[in-house]
Amino acid sequence: MRLAKGGGGIAKVVVLGGGPAGLACAAELAERGVSVALLEKREALGGRVQDLACKGAVHCRQCDVCRVHRLRSQVLSSELVSVHTNVELEQLERNNGRYRFDLVRPKDAIDLGRCSRCGKCVEACPTGAMTKAAGKIRLDRGACRSIQGLECERCVSVCPVGAIDLFGEEHLSINGSAVIVATGSLEFPASEEKR
């Protein structure tokens, strides 16, 4: 693969998708000394394989489910790969063979610099979306009623220091010389297949 190099440095490849294909691309490119930005819209890497279970109870059955775990570890430990999860693409521009990705992602809901770790938000949360572990307050965005579009925000109203912002956004831009689209697959509804 031939890439345009910018500023005398190694070209950056932007990989869209953090599932098995995206992880494999990022790992392979990093092994070859290419800088990679891996973009994933979900909070975690691994894609749909995360929903599968290993087939081997005692002995490995070569089902490849665990391959994603190895790839994820390889990617996360590489200095050449920058991982950006929970991001949405706002705009993509191409100019002179270079690409600019404008992205948006939710800010951390809890400002740890302001948070007093009193735990009032944990007590007030009706769904258990707010948790306190190892001295930190965390929010499970998938379990938060407010983020799901339901009325709540009890955690915001009880926070004595105003450290909670459930809807803050952060904007960032990533530049690259090449793009690999590895955005996943859809389940095939086999029951709808007529034979």
- Give the domains, in start order, of the chain with CATH numbers: 12-106+169-184 (3.50.50.60), 108-167 (3.30.70.20)
Residue 171 CB-density burial (10 A; 0-12 exposed, 13-18 middle, 19+ buried): exposed
CB atoms inside a 10 Å sphere around CB 69: 15
CB environment 9-37: b (16+ within 10 A), e (fewer): eebbbbbbbbbbbbbbbbbebbeeebbbb
CA separation for the pair 129, 134 (Å, rounded): 16
Summarize the confidence of residues 47-65 as an average pLDDT.
72
Residue among 117, 167, 102 at smallest CA distance from 130: 117
Of the listed ranges 3-17, 35-49, 66-80, 124-138, the least confidently predicted one is: 3-17
Of the listed ranges 9-13, 46-50, 107-111, 165-169, the least confidently predicted one is: 9-13
CA separation for the pair 27, 142 (Å, rounded): 29
The pLDDT mean for the chain works out to 87
Is pLDDT of 11 > 60? no
Is pLDDT of 68 > 50? yes
Is pLDDT of 61 > 90? no
More confident residue, 188 or 180: 180
What is the band of 134 on the pLDDT scale with cuts at 50, 70, 90? confident
Is pLDDT of 4 > 70? no
